[in-house]
Structure 1
């Protein structure tokens, strides 16, 4: 990091940074409290996984059913549906509950559910003398494949990641870890970062822009049907909300002396070699996966499900429109990693690491990254993910591997939601 002296910031700049920090703290704190009232997607995910398990049961060898599916997928699904209050139970869930209880819903027939293989199977079983004749082998096979990807693949990923972590710990104890490159990044101050993150990312983007942009976007997308309307709104709103922070960062970098910039530029993108960036991203994703899973498991065990899931997850779960899903995937897999890594690992982390030390910089940038998502339920797991992204940034000495790792994480999460 260049150590050339920076001129003393004007008093107004310091006051503006302090005001931005105070407002951002209030916005984040109130947002975290409000997130407690938002529903969690965990129950919906669990219920859909139980439905998938029951549908896949005939395609799983009998010797493996108990190990892979549990003792009785039918009883587990029945218990889950009975645990939902009648007011919150959808019409489909109510029909499924009656069928699992051996009752036939009014005016029920298999032709009424042409795209719901599980309901078709249950409707057939109620009246069939041999339930085995009701099994759709193709649907069961597809369900088993989806179930394998959504449950077995994360476990395999966590196992491989755990072995890699053990290997890294062993190298650390033996003193065989390769030395990391020197931290390079924009020669900005902590006041600059307060203006960028607190002022631009939080106050302007999360409060000021929505007051103007959201009504305009709503008017532009009013003619579209749901969920395509919501998906188009997500893409446009996200792009508009990213602009203030990017413009502030562009202005800050433009004010720096060009002769002080590192050879690879202030942001250290360094797209090539692409293969090593991809390998760093995959290794980071593998090693952070078991830690995030463990953090989420401990959180549920200690305090239960705190709720407050990202609303984007609900849109993905409730959408069957290919265009809507494509737009949501674009936001989650491309736009979000590019923007968030530029701010948190491209600008913020190097500045914090240069002034507070690499470890403190990684931890603080990871925490701020998690808080920016304004979800109590995701705060701890996202902090761990942010720390992992920061370590990949420092270890690789460039930003591109962190962007790829972030995109890979979001892509796998998005794929799991689609599979369920």
Structure 2
């Protein structure tokens, strides 16, 4: 009887995380759309220069604030969801070994992505690159907001949604490798960048593999931050 009760509790938690992942994805898309329209109109009425980088930064940060508030409410609700349930816990290994595994997977993924870029001639997310390039002629505050959104908060939020909630829920229903694949496909599709889809799936699979192997979300978040940070540096350097 105890095992059956534990199984039911686990299934309910998995269903709750899966539903929450969907809610959070919808929240990101809806909030970014509404915020982009709102800030675009508000700033456009007073600005004589391109304000797209500022609109992008405020829209992204607004959506992330909404998502984090929903996660906070979910954690406080009486549903059995805890920080550990979404990967924010100690891993299976010591931190040196965990970070070593993360570095190996990251470097392996980087080599595969490098081959993909060389073969396809893909240029890193051109719309984002254009917005970041435009921001170079603007206030350091705007640049700082973009970096905060793209390099710091964005990766943490996306890892919570796609790995912490989605992958964790799927891994309790299907084989872990299948959960990594599906969450990576959803991660790639969510960004709605057709040319970048294969690259995003590969990167997402690396994050998911690190999470699945180590048992903690922290190295995946760190990898995501490093990946986005290096991409921003390349854009600023005109590469």
TM range (shorter): 0.7 to 0.9
Equivalenced residues, count:
228
Between the aligned partners of 2:179 and 2:65, the Cα distance in structure 1 is: 25
Partner of 1:5: 8
Partner of 1:285: 106
How has the CA–CA distance of structure 1 residues 243 and 7 changed in structure 2, closer, same or farther, with 3 Å as cutoff? Answer: same
Alignment of 1:93-104 (within 5 A): none
Between the aligned partners of 1:255 and 1:310, the Cα distance in structure 2 is: 44
User: Is this contact kept in 2: 1:292–1:382, CA < 8 A?
Assistant: no
Q: 1:402 aligns with which of 220, 227, 230?
A: 220
Partner of 1:240: 62
Query: Residues 330-370 of structure 1: CA distance to partner in whole angstroms, max 9, x if unpaired?
Result: 22210211110011111111111121111100100111111
How has the CA–CA distance of structure 1 residues 375 and 365 changed in structure 2, closer, same or farther, with 3 Å as cutoff? Answer: same
Give the superposition deviation at 1:411.
1.0
Q: Which runs of 5+ in 1 are unaligned?
A: 10-186
- Aligned partner of residue 371 in structure 1, secondary structure: helix
Q: Does 2:154 correspond to 1:309?
A: no
Partner of 2:198: 380
Give the superposition deviation at 1:188.
2.3
TM-score by length of 1: 0.48
Alignment of 1:320-359 (within 5 A): 320-321=136-137, 323=140, 324-359=142-177
- Aligned partner of residue 84 in structure 2, secondary structure: coil
More helix per residue: 1 or 2?
2
- Aligned partner of residue 256 in structure 1, secondary structure: coil
Between the aligned partners of 1:271 and 1:320, the Cα distance in structure 2 is: 39
Which of the pair has more CA radius of gyration? 1
Q: Does 2:75 correspond to 1:257?
A: no
TM-score by length of 2: 0.79
Alignment of 1:50-69 (within 5 A): none
User: Is this contact kept in 1: 2:86–2:164, CA < 8 A?
Assistant: yes
User: Is this contact kept in 1: 2:17–2:166, CA < 8 A?
Assistant: no
Give the superposition deviation at 1:311.
2.0
Partner of 1:369: 187
Between the aligned partners of 1:283 and 1:362, the Cα distance in structure 2 is: 18
Whose relative contact order is higher, 1 or 2, with alpha carbons under 8 Å and at least 6 apart?
Answer: 2
Alignment of 1:1-400 (within 5 A): 3-6=6-9, 187-189=13-15, 192-193=17-18, 195-202=19-26, 204-207=27-30, 209-210=31-32, 212-222=34-44, 223-224=46-47, 226=49, 229-253=51-75, 254-257=77-80, 265-270=84-89, 278-298=99-119, 300=120, 309-321=125-137, 323=140, 324-400=142-218
In angstroms, what is the RMSD of aligned CA positions?
3.2
- Aligned partner of residue 384 in structure 1, secondary structure: helix
User: Is this contact kept in 2: 1:296–1:380, CA < 8 A?
Assistant: no
Between the aligned partners of 1:366 and 1:406, the Cα distance in structure 2 is: 13
Between the aligned partners of 2:11 and 2:214, the Cα distance in structure 1 is: 32
Give the superposition deviation at 1:297.
3.8
User: Is this contact kept in 2: 1:267–1:347, CA < 8 A?
Assistant: yes
Q: Which runs of 5+ in 2 are unaligned?
A: none
